[in-house]
Structures are given as C-alpha cells and as structure tokens.
Chains A and B, each alone.
Chain A
C-alpha cells in the first residue's frame, strides 16, 4: 500500500494570504504514461469531497485559478495564492497509481 503523508495537519490562514500544503508518497507516483497519479480534494464542512486538482497539476473544471498543484516523484504541493473564507475545510491528497489511498487531511481554518 502506498502511504500518503500530509503536512501540516492544521493550517490557520489570514484571508488574502497564501497557503501551501505538502503531500509526500511512500513511492513514486509517476506512471508510464508520464503523468503523476496524484489528486487533491477539498471537503468543505457538511459537504462531500470535491476534486480540485488531478494528475498532479491539472485544475478541475470550475476550480478557481488561485488553486495550483505541483510536484513530481514523491513530493507534491497544493498552493492557494490568496485564501478566501470559502476555502475552509479539509484538504486531502490521494494517489491513484495503485489501490487509491488518501493522506490524513489538512484542516484549513481562517484566523
């Protein structure tokens, strides 16, 4: 099983400021296709998860461009250029190279 480790687990942010979440996998997520099978999801309070980024850096339809994903191999980052109040929730990274596994989640809160 590929283990996903996120940091930090709690992230207090002032609106308008940037935020960054790290995700590390126990083995490389690079597929033979050349894509990294790493996705980012946000679960807002009381809602189902929603995809933000897939294949490491592709923003999903309708996701604001303040969200961006980067990284390669085993190290990935989700960045929010300017946090908005509606961005609160739990952020998860997930690998889909093998049986999907999720990180522990990072709770973003507004200061």
Chain B
C-alpha cells in the first residue's frame, strides 16, 4: 500500500526556520515525483513545487521559488520542505503528494499544519 506520512503540526515565530517531512513507503521511491501543495485558510489549493526522488531534480512554482527548498533523502524515502525565514503568511496546511505522469496526484499525505505567529 502506498503511504505518505507527514511530520506533525508546527507552531513557529516569524523569522524562524522550519523543515517538515513526508516519509513514503509501499512503492519504488526513486521512480516518482513528489509534489507539495498548500492550503491557506479560506483559500484554494496551491502547487508549490516537486522533486524527482531518483535524482533530486526539483521544479518550483514561480510564486515559491527562493522562498522554500524541497529536498530528498533516499536513505529514508523522505521528501522535505523547508523555510529559512518564516512569515505569518506561511500559515497553512501543507500536503505532500505523489505526482504521476500527466501531473495528477494519486496519493496524498495527511497534511502538516504550520502556524506562524508572534
């Protein structure tokens, strides 16, 4: 069974750094892209970027380029999303999802709530 299990909720202050994780299992990790999607309260879903787990080829949405970093740890089949300096506007639920050819998402993590407030 394909599973994506995300790290727990985080409460941070503006300016702090953060790394959240998405641990995968049940499939050949290196053969798929993993994407990150966020949902800001009261708004729709936004695609942030994706990484190919086999070679760490990474693509970002222009809206998030330079704001976050997506990385891969093949030894633990884990994909991470990190910030160096959080803002209040980063408050959202962040989902990782396995992205298939043609771009659709066939499996999702349970989501990680990130709250940024002074």
Interface residues of B in 99-116 (CB under 8 A from A): 100, 102-106, 108-111
By DSSP majority rule, is chain A's interface helix, strand, loop, or mixed? loop
Contact B109 A49 (CB under 8 A): no
**A58, chain B: closest CB distance, angstroms:** 9
Whole-angstrom distance between the alpha carbons of A60 and B37 in the complex? 20
Q: Does B84 contact A (CB under 8 A)?
A: no
Query: Size class of A's contact patch?
Result: 20 to 34
Q: Contacts A99-B47, A104-B44, A105-B44; is A60 near B106 (CB within 8 Å)?
A: yes
Contact with A along B85-111 (1 / 0, CB 8 A): 000000000010100101111101111
Chain B residues with CB under 8 A of A41:
45, 105
Report how far A35 CA is from B101 CA in the complex, Å: 12
Q: Which chain B residue lies CB-closest to A36?
A: B102
- Is the Cβ of B104 less than 8 Å from the Cβ of A55? yes
Contact (Cβ within 8 A) B102 A35: yes
Asked whether any CB of chain B lies closer than 8 Å to the CB of A50, the reply is yes
Q: Which of A60, A92, A94, A97 has the most CB of B within 10 A?
A: A94
Q: Determine the chain B residues whose CB is within 8 A of the CB of A94 once the complex forms.
A: 45, 104
Q: Kindly state the separation between the CA atoms of A35 and B111 in the bound complex, as whole angstroms.
A: 30
A residues contacting B by CB (< 8 A) are 31, 35, 37, 39, 41, 48-51, 54-55, 60, 92, 94, 96-97, 99-105
Q: List 21 A-B contacts (CB under 8 A).
A: A35-B102, A41-B105, A48-B110, A49-B37, A49-B97, A50-B108, A51-B105, A51-B106, A54-B100, A54-B102, A55-B102, A55-B104, A92-B44, A92-B45, A94-B104, A96-B103, A96-B104, A99-B62, A100-B35, A102-B45, A104-B44
